Amino acid sequence: MPELPDVETFRRYLDSTSLHQEISKVAIHSPELLEGVTPAELKAALEGKSFVSTHRHGKYLFAQTSGGKWVVFHFGMTGFLKYFEDMEEEPPHARMTIDFLNGWHLGYDCQRKLGEIGLADDWQKVVEARKMGPDPLDPGFTLDTFGEAMRKTRAVVKSALMNQRLLAGIGNIYSDEILFQAGIQPGIKAKDISKDRIERLFYSVKEVLEETIKCKADPERFPPSYLIPHRHGDGKCPRCGNDLQQKKFSGRTGFFCPSCQA
DNA sequence: CCTATAGCCTGACGGC
DNA sequence: TGCCGTCAGGCTATAG
């Protein structure tokens, strides 16, 4: 689930449910997911405080507390947030549950434990430490920066789009959609793509991310021209109706239409 | 330096 | 039904 559009949806969800509410208690069910912080430190940074603002960079969500610290959420492949009132609605793999004074709770669920929770003085430090590239929805992400990133890598374009050090936020699913919308085949070297097509790819990156955020990252709401809802074993191209092809690129399964993507 | 791969962890699914 | 292998939208460390 959690690529950039999903994490942006989580961020807005946290904003609309959990901001400015005093935290009474924090239960850490899986301390092994804490990175660089002890359960006691994390509890101390949260209990008695509230969340006052959020930020997202790539696939990372940051929530600032009234004490000034930032809680860092990463979701791995299976993470999500859920705001609920009755403890019976606590999600099945809640790794941390935050109780608010109003009686509601915010659960961080992460079935496969590939996510992480951290604490930082400011979010920029986390971005730097992880050497993340620009977020494609930030003003700093321009055609020039994108073109340079694609020129300097030797990887195939799908892998390049997924490289968080080149640009942050795109994963296996959305790289397929972006390449489909741009009409570019996933297996060609990023540096061999013409300037014109790099420009088209740049706009596809922005358009796909913006559009899918509007859809709250829910494939059922995606436009009919989108590949993602057809991205399965016997899926057909929504544009020409031919069989989609699947192939591994650096270990990840990619789907594409051999006739619409050159 | 670079890129591709194995491994982390858990659960769902298909084949035998 | 039960077991086993494979696969899944993440990242990192390591090998080549």
CB atoms within 10 A of CB A119: 20
Global confidence as pTM: 0.96
Closest nucleotide relative to residue A189's CA, C1' based:
B3
- Report how far residue A227's alpha carbon sits from residue A235's, in angstroms, rounded to the nearest whole number: 9
Q: Is the dihedral of CA A195, A197, A198, A203 positive or negative?
A: positive
Read off the pLDDT of each residue in A130-158 and give the average, rounded to a whole number.
93
> 3-state SS string over chain A?
CCCHHHHHHHHHHHHHHHECCCEEEEEECCHHHECCCCHHHHHHHHCCCCEEEEEEECCEEEEEECCCCEEEEECCCCEEEEEECCHHHCCCCEEEEEEECCCCEEEEEECCCCCEEEEECCHHHHHHHCCCCCCCCCCCCCHHHHHHHHHHCCCEHHHHHHCCCCCCCCCHHHHHHHHHHHCCCCCCEHHHCCHHHHHHHHHHHHHHHHHHHHCCCCHHHCCCCCCHHHCCCCCECCCCCCECEEEEECCEEEEECCCCCC
Measured CA A258 to C1' C12 distance, in angstroms: 33
Average pLDDT over residues A182-198: 95
Nucleotide with minimal C1' distance from the CA of A248 is B4
Q: How far apart are CA A198 and CA A184, in angstroms?
A: 10
Q: Is A27 within 8 Å of A39 (Cβ atoms)?
A: no
Overall residue count recorded for chain A in this entry? 262
pLDDT above 80: residue A156: yes
Output residues with Cβ under 7 Å from nucleic strand C: A 1-3, 6, 58-59, 74, 76-77, 112, 114, 130, 162, 164, 171-173, 217, 219, 251-253
Residues A92-132 have pLDDT tens digits of 999 999 999 999 999 999 999 999 999 999 999 999 999 99
Q: pLDDT value at position A1?
A: 63
- Assess contact for A151 and A233: CB atoms under 8 A: no
**Protein A97 CA to nucleic acid B12 C1', in Å?**
26
Distance from residue A251 (CA) to nucleotide B14 (C1'), in Å?
Answer: 21
Instruction: Please report the pLDDT score of residue A140 as a whole number.
Output: 85
Q: How many CA atoms lie within 13 A of A99 on its CB side?
A: 10
Residues ≥6 apart with Cβ < 8 Å to A255: A176, A227, A230, A231, A232, A235, A244, A245, A246
Report the percent of chain A where pLDDT is more than 70. Answer: 100
Does the pLDDT at position A184 exceed 70? Answer: yes
For residue A125, count other CB atoms closer than 10 A to its CB. Answer: 12
Taking the CA of residue A23 and the C1' sugar atom of nucleotide C6, their distance in angstroms comes to 42
C-alpha A233: how far from chain center = 24
pLDDT for A157: 95
pLDDT above 90 (res A70): yes
pLDDT of residue A238: 95
Q: Which residue is nearest to nucleotide B3 (CA to C1')?
A: A155
Please name the nucleotide lying closest to A251, CA to C1'.
B5
For the stretch A198-249, pLDDT in tens is 999 999 999 999 999 999 999 999 999 999 999 988 899 999 999 999 999 9
Q: How many CB atoms lie within 10 A of CB A106?
A: 23
User: Structure tokens of A172?
Assistant: 């296996």
